[in-house]
Amino acid sequence: MSATYSLDDLRQKLQNSPYKCTHQRRVVLEVFVNNPGVHLSAEEVHDILKQKSADIGLATVYRALELLCSKEIGILQKIDFGDGCSRYELNLTEPNSHQHHHMICTNCKKVIEFSEDMLDDLEADIMKKCGFKVTDHQVKFFGLCEECRNEIAN
């Protein structure tokens, strides 16, 4: 189940963390609030900020992203879609709930989110057989999206 947060809520979460709510961190956060559901790389965040005439370096963007996705703050989630480029998105899940999953088209590189979590039985089986308590997981499916399948079929 996902929660909805306003920019003010997310700023408050950052201010309540042990870290300062700097201008640079706020403007990086605003990029994600203004681009909901988009999986952005550090370079893409930097490009968006440059277009807005924000005076922030790429290294500062990287540091802000890493801090915003740290366990202490957890506002962002860091994701690797298998192409060697880390991407980030707002972490809008309730505490103690699983993240959504991603389907990545190997042809057009589109990323589609999938919310339904069907792994509860598997997690219970892992706990029973191995004594390992799963607290979270990330699932990525690679294949062809409907549009690419249709293009290939025609």
Task: Give the residue carrying structure tokens 């860091």.
Answer: 78
Q: Which residues are annotated as a binding site for Fe cation?
A: 137
Residue 2: the pLDDT is 41
Q: How confident is the model at residue 45 (pLDDT cuts 50, 70, 90)?
A: very high
Binding site, by residue number, is: 105, 108, 137, 145, 148
Residue 70 has pLDDT above 90, yes or no: no
CATH number of the structural domain spanning residue 68? 1.10.10.10
Instruction: Indicate the burial class of 24 (C-beta count within 10 angstroms; 0-12, 13-18, 19 or more).
Output: middle
Q: Which of 42, 59, 94 is the last residue of a domain?
A: 94
Beta-strand runs (E) in the chain: 76-80, 86-90, 101-105, 111-114, 140-143
Q: Give me the pLDDT at residue 91, please.
A: 80
The pLDDT of 11-36, averaged and rounded, is 83
Residues 70 and 6 in one domain: yes
- Annotated binding-site members for Zn(2+): 105, 108, 145, 148
- Model-level pTM greater than 0.95? no
pLDDT for 76-134, tens place per residue? 888 887 778 899 988 866 545 556 678 888 888 888 877 777 788 888 899 999 999 88
Higher pLDDT, 100 or 24: 24
The residue type found at 119 is L
pLDDT of res. 83: 79
Q: What is the mean pLDDT of residues 142-149?
A: 91
The CATH number assigned to the domain holding 106 equals: 3.30.1490.190
